[in-house]
Amino acid sequence: MMMKRSILALALAGTVVGSALPAMAEDQATPPRLKWSFSGPFGKYDPAQLQRGFKIYREVCSSCHSIQMLAFRNLADPGGPGFSEAQAGAVASEYKIKDLDDQGNPTERPGRLADTFPPPFANELAAKAANGGTAPPDMSTLAKARTYQRGFPWFVFDAFTQYQEQGPDYITALLKGYEDPPKGFQLPQGGNYNRYFPGHNIAMPPPLQAGQVTYDDGAPQTMDQYSQDIAAFLMWAAEPHLVQRKRIGFQVMIFLIVLTGLMYFTKKKVWHEVEKPHEIAHRQDPKKTTI
Amino acid sequence: MSGHSTYQPQNKFLQWFEKRLPLGGLIHSSFVAYPTPRNLNYLWTFGGILAFMLGVQIITGVVLAMHYTPHVDMAFRSVEGIMRDVNFGWLLRYLHANGASMFFLAVYVHMFRGIYYGSYKEPREVLWILGVIIYLLMMATGFMGYVLVWGQMSFWAATVITNLFSAIPGVGDAIVTWLWGGFAVGNPTLNRFYSLHYLLPFVIAGVVVLHIWALHVAGQNNPTGIEPKSDKDTVAFTPYATVKDGFFMAVFCILYAWFVFYIPNFLGHADNYIPANPAVTPAEIVPEWYYLPFYAILRSIPDKLMGVIALFASILVLAFIPWLDTSRVRSARYRPLFKQFFWLWVVACVGLGWLGSKQPEGIYVILSRVFTVYYFAFFLIIMPLLGIFEKTKPLPNSISESVLGAKA
């Protein structure tokens, strides 16, 4: 899937801060901004949502998309989908992993926790041949590799509001963005029209429909729910330590703000005599004046 | 490094050591007793911040190098391995990637300050040129570090930048092949970039030592631009400058931590999370934000060779400003016209940064050309002429007079 990209970027609010994002042509719709459990300074992944997203990945996406940087053990990592080690092991054992036996002959064995998810195709050429000439991208970093143009001045505000969920917003919108091409739009053979895809012509046919995946936890089996759940799962797959990062970040911030405060008053005390030039000029003792 | 040391250690061992190698005296005279102008504002804390950032980059970089694999088939995966499987690897990598941006942010503040207050003028020419050399080394280091990730933008940035040398008449293509170590950007290119990316920071550290040495010989400039004349004009480095630098470093770290922990990918490009693919060209290739003004200058000129020359000239011209600026008054505080031209120049720099991220078409090309012309005119025409025609404001007699008022 070759995304046509152009760039946006930049700005500055006193300082130059650039951010370059794949752009969308003028007629491309902006993905709606959604609420995510993992947004903001205290964001955390919702384990139930990640488990639902994982179910969608297994039952739908994994037939074409690899996710090769994800290991089965990751399913039981803290801050993730919250599977137990035994559950993750059970998932692993359902996969067949290519290996060598003791005699060095190719063999297949059940997956183990340490294995990564095996890809659906033997290699990129096989993936291309089976998908009309376009290899479906690996999903390990997909949620961070996809975004949309925010434009000036919004991306400046994003630095302050910590809006970092353009990737999941875009993926959610894309999954729901299939529609009939408008009159006069020449859709190449084998292409599909998507409102949100740059250039609108996407090789991937609509992958999901309502009711396709059965949820065990009573969550609605709608396109809205499906597309958000898989986008959240992909975000976790791309940034598995997000929860730890934000938790430590808060502690670091508290530390730095206290440190800054202490440094400020220390500085003020030390510079007291130097910064009281008028008292010195009038021959008063600066040590006797208050800060 | 300046003046003789009054350092008298009490400890017997330190006395013994000092007689054999006066290291304590050197540190004492450089960072304790060293007189700093009393009127330095917070812009003068960025030198210390830059030294701190160089340290952060070297420490995080050395540890990252322990986990990184410089091979075209494994580099991207090894970076993701750092993000996923190395304990606190995500922290190291985000500190290093955002650290580069913070380093450049600080160096730009440092350079703007130097130009505004005339810190490049006699007797600080060598100090200034050493700074320009450090900046050039930083640019090379930052670029090669970005390539190591081996994402789409890494690969194509490496291709575009190395291809600049093909503009050299006659030998250009041969030079590019030599730089690549092959006939395209590939494994030899990645290997040598890795090697140089590890080497150059230590070269920077060496030039930084010279930079600080030159600083301590010439003494610091200050917002008035006049030299300290008596003890009343200065305060000791420790505790005054140390505590002030420390305070502002803490403020700077809050900004740094905000990026690292909350918006670590804000300054990056989404395409660099796609593994490098020589068969797929991104629709547009942009460098990191800190190179954008120079990228805009490059693209504003239709001829490739002239564009490359303008790109390098825009950096090298900085080395000549001690002689291009003919004014005897250092600080823009007493130069009403220079002050206005300076801020226009800042607008041009920032504007070029914005234009560097835009497609080179329509109004953007015209604006790039206007700003590029002004960028060079500021150094080559305005600086030499202002010294002759500008009527400067009267200078105070001393730093303490400017701080305390004329009555003191």
Confidence grade of residue B244 (pLDDT, cut at 50, 70, 90): very high
Domain ranges of chain B: 40-278, 286-393
- The C-alpha angle B249, B254, B258, rounded to 5 degrees, equals 145
pLDDT of amino acid B1: 43
Distance (Å) from the C-alpha of residue B356 to the closest C-alpha of chain A? 9
Residue A18 has pLDDT above 70, yes or no: no
CATH 1.10.620.20 fits B40-278, yes or no: no
Minimum mean pLDDT among A93-97, A184-188, B186-190: which range?
A184-188
ipTM score assigned to the predicted complex: 0.93
Domain ranges of chain A: 11-47+139-240, 249-288
Residue A11 has pLDDT above 50, yes or no: no
pLDDT of amino acid B36: 95
Rounded Cα distance between B255 and B53, Å, is 13
Helices B242-262 and B46-67, interaxial angle, to 10°? 40
Which of the listed CATH numbers 1.10.1030.10, 3.40.50.300, 1.10.760.10, 3.30.1130.10 matches domain A11-47+139-240? 1.10.760.10
pTM (2 decimals)?
A: 0.93
Distance (Å) from the C-alpha of residue B81 to the closest C-alpha of chain A? 8
Whether the CB of A8 is below 8 Å from some CB of chain B: the reply is: yes
Whether the CB of A203 is below 8 Å from some CB of chain B: the reply is: no
Chain A environment of B286 (Cβ under 8 Å) = 7, 9, 20
Chain A environment of B240 (Cβ under 8 Å) = 270-271, 274
B65-112, pLDDT tens digit by residue? Answer: 999 999 999 999 999 999 999 999 999 999 999 999 999 999 999 999
CATH architecture of structural domain B286-393: Orthogonal Bundle (1.10)
Please state the three-class secondary structure of chain B as a single string.
CCCCCCCCCCCHHHHHHHHHCCHHHHHHHHHCCCEEECCCCHHHHHHHHHHHHHHHHHHHHHHHHHHCCCCCCCHHHHHHHHHHCCCCHHHHHHHHHHHHHHHHHHHHHHHHHHHHCCCCCCCCHHHHHHHHHHHHHHHHHHHHHHHHCCEHHHHHHHHHHHHHHHHCCCCHHHHHHHHHCCCCCCHHHHHHHHHHHHHHHHHHHHHHHHHHHHHHHHCCCCCCCCCCCCHHHEEEHHHHHHHHHHHHHHHHHHHHHHHHHHCCCCCCEHHHHCECCCCCCCCCCCCCHHHHHHHHHHHHCCCHHHHHHHHHHHHHHHHHHHHHCCCCCCCHHHCHHHHHHHHHHHHHHHHHHHHHCCCCCCHHHHHHHHHHHHHHHHHHHHHHHHHHHCCCCCCCCCHHHHHHCCCC
Residue B252 has pLDDT above 50, yes or no: yes
Interface mutation vs chain A, best among B36, B82, B105, B274, most A CBs within 10 Å: B274
pLDDT of amino acid A278: 66
With an 8 Å Cβ cutoff, are B261 and A20 in contact? Answer: no
pLDDT of amino acid A289: 61
Whether the CB of B122 is below 8 Å from some CB of chain A: the reply is: no
Instruction: Calculate mean pLDDT across residues B35-56.
Output: 97
Chain A environment of B112 (Cβ under 8 Å) = none
Chain B environment of A119 (Cβ under 8 Å) = none
Confidence grade of residue A181 (pLDDT, cut at 50, 70, 90): very high
Whether the CB of A12 is below 8 Å from some CB of chain B: the reply is: yes
Residue A194 has pLDDT above 70, yes or no: yes
Residue A214 has pLDDT above 50, yes or no: yes
Residue B190 has pLDDT above 60, yes or no: yes
Residue with tokens 């720099």: B349
With an 8 Å Cβ cutoff, are A249 and B243 in contact? Answer: no
Of B257, B270, B292, the CB nearest to A256: B257
Chain B residue with minimum CA distance to A153: B354
pLDDT of amino acid A27: 63
pLDDT of amino acid B245: 97
